[in-house]
Chains A and B, each alone.
Chain A
Amino acid sequence: MATYKETFASLDRAVLIPFFVIGDPDFDTSLGLVKSAIDAGADVLELGIAFSDPIADGPTIQAADIRAIKSGMTVDRGLEFIKLVTDYKPVPVGLLIYYNLVFQYGTEKFFADFKAAGGSSILIADLSIDDADEVIPAAEKAELETVFMVTPNTRDDRAKIIAEKSTGFIYTVSTLGVTGARSALSDMVKPLIARLKAITDTPVCVGFGISSADQAKQVADAGADGVIIGSKIVKMIENNLGDIAAMTKEISDFIKEVKSAL
């Protein structure tokens, strides 16, 4: 399995990180989409396990969560899915999940089982750095990397602590808001990247709202080490429900386009 460090070091451009909700719109289609995303050039994957009440997510990913849950997704099947992905190609997989799912599974066991499935890091959307101690021992024990979020309103002293506690990368939220494709890049993102670069060497990956090759390029040019694209891709699933070939092609083409822009 490639580590984040190796992946970031091996590339002289920003890392491309597409996001998918596992099991959206169903397990098999989702697996096919993720595999073709890897084939199209995804360097790292960000995968989400669906939750009933995703408060950090906008309408697009909420709808994906509902599709996944309706199609029978469970946490166990999510881990199975990750194993199938990492067996296919050794790309690093970061997980995005809400705390209650981890808590019910048992934090230590969840981190261990995720590692066994080939995963690299777990980011809990509703666990801030203040409570990092609730998961860091489990991550260390499982030998997983850690990823925490920074947002435009995070103060520098706090961002420093977040950077220190993140061994993988800093999940850098481009804007004040929930996930969702946006037509323009937030004017908060460039100053934020600059701020982080001034205080840490931890890789900075930027997500939330990035919707085009041009926006991805702007973020990379501003110094980001990685670009995470979620809602835009998830929307392509929603727009092509019932036509797997069309959805696969649209997503693969988009990933290729972003990749060549980076």
Chain B
Amino acid sequence: MIEKGRFGQFGGFYVPEVLIPALEDIEAAFLHYKDDPKFVADLDNLYKNYAGRPTPLYYASRFSEYVGFRVYIKREDLLHGGAHKTNNTLGQGLLAKYMGKKKIIAETGAGQHGLATAMAGALFGLETKIFMGAVDVERQSVNVHKMKLCGAEVVPITAGSGTLKDAINDALRYWTSHVEDTFYIFGTVCGPHPFPTIVKHFQSPIGKEAHEQVLKETGSLPDMVVACVGGGSNAMGIFSGFIDDKDVKLIGVEPAGHGLDTGEHAATLVAGTIGIFHGAKSYLLQDKEGQVHETESISAGLDYPAVGPEHCMLKDAGRAEYVSVEDKDVLDTFHLFTKLEGIIPALESTHALTWLVQQKGKFSADTTIIANLSGRGDKDVGIVEEHSPV
């Protein structure tokens, strides 16, 4: 490996020997192509004409009026595929193509990364296999159908809690047996190096655009930037545009599930301890022996016991602050926001909006906050209907 992939004490590449050559190949290809003019031009073209970048920055006037401060929404929900995940799969899919790979695999929780990978598989003509927890297959069935329509095979995983962690376990096992011809498109800023670095790179247009857009729109930088954190890729994408602007507060919102005190949640940075899991050192939800917990969240995309190593570093350095909100409040915000703005947010993204609702009246009226709307909520209407019918 050329680089260590460390973010302070976090990160690294803690994987069995068999995966090291594959990670080395991906790292080398990434370092080679990321600034290659042809690769950059190809990717920019796809971002613009296939996926619809730049996504708008929208001033949510009715929601702003409700909370009592100025809220701008970064509209990743409008990206092709319905979530920020497409930024990453176009980048990694193109990299796989440039490397001459014929097959791609991915894990998925909410199905957004699975769908975005299936789209990339169709677009680039790559055979695609998606690993998805059986519970998630059930609760995100719309996305499962879309993946299949794109020609991907969806492999349901029944082990453990049948969620994202189990899907990653089996995707890693499958990759172990197929390292020679298969590219693993990791879905978030977690996992072994080089994935946290690669995924951040391909998600960084979110932050770069938002930075330019907010300056153009308001003439100044925002006071805060808020995003939900599962593995942390949409948050890292938008944070990356503001990280050098020390006066901009960065807030990551994690899923408190049924409540932090119930133990049934997935608020890794808020309630976890340091451990080594899925190839990286990070905060982790685990028992004192180091066995990893099964997690709980209404939002499949946030239902994961680890978190990106760079977020861990930002937390410890005090550069970003991490908070959590509970399922029941997320459901209320889902209805509230949809009624006020006519935008149906993904349950994942709704976590960020929920934190804003909880700050109602706490900030001055001229406070400006950007919230990353990482995805649209079409996939979640069934779950919402079940828990809180209209």
Contacts and interface: CB of A to CB of B under 8 A. Distances in A.
A173 B18 contact: yes
B231 to A, nearest CB: 15
Contacts of B173: 55-58, 178
Contacts of A125: 16
Nearest to A130: B1
A19 to B, nearest CB: 16
Contact of A55 (B13, B172, B275, B291): B172
Given A100-B276, A104-B286, A178 B17 contact: no
Interface string A155-166: 100100010000
A151 interface: yes
A87 interface: no
Contacts of A173: 17-18
A150 B291 CA distance: 26
A55 B17 contact: no
B176 A56 contact: yes
Interface residues of A, number: 38
Interface string B1-27: 100000000001111111011100000
Interface in B166-223: 169, 172-173, 176-180
B100 interface: no
Contacts of A74: 289
B16 A154 contact: no
A55 B290 contact: no
Most buried by B among A51, A55, A62, A101: A55
Contacts of A155: 21
A143 interface: no
Interface residues of B, number: 34
Interface string A18-32: 000000000000000
Contact of A126 (B14, B179, B288): B14
A176 B177 contact: yes
A213 interface: no
A53 interface: yes
B290 A100 contact: yes
B16 A126 contact: yes
Contacts, number: 103
Contacts of A101: 289-291
A262 to B, nearest CB: 26
B328 interface: no
A56 B17 CA distance: 10
Contact of A130 (B20, B286, B288): B20
A129 interface: yes
A104 B176 contact: no
A149 interface: yes
Contacts of B172: 55
A128 interface: yes
B155 to A, nearest CB: 14
A113 B148 CA distance: 51
B278 interface: yes
Given A55-B16, A55-B169, A125-B16, A177 B292 contact: no
Given A56-B16, A100-B286, A149-B17, A176 B291 contact: no
A128 B276 CA distance: 13
Interface in A105-140: 105, 125-131
A211 B88 CA distance: 41
A155 to B, nearest CB: 7
B176 A176 contact: yes
A125 B276 CA distance: 12
Interface of B: 1, 12-18, 20-22, 159-160, 165, 169, 172-173, 176-180, 275-279, 284, 286, 288-292
Given A56-B16, A104-B289, 10 more contacts: A51-B290, A52-B291, A53-B169, A100-B286, A104-B275, A105-B290, A130-B1, A151-B16, A154-B21, A173-B18
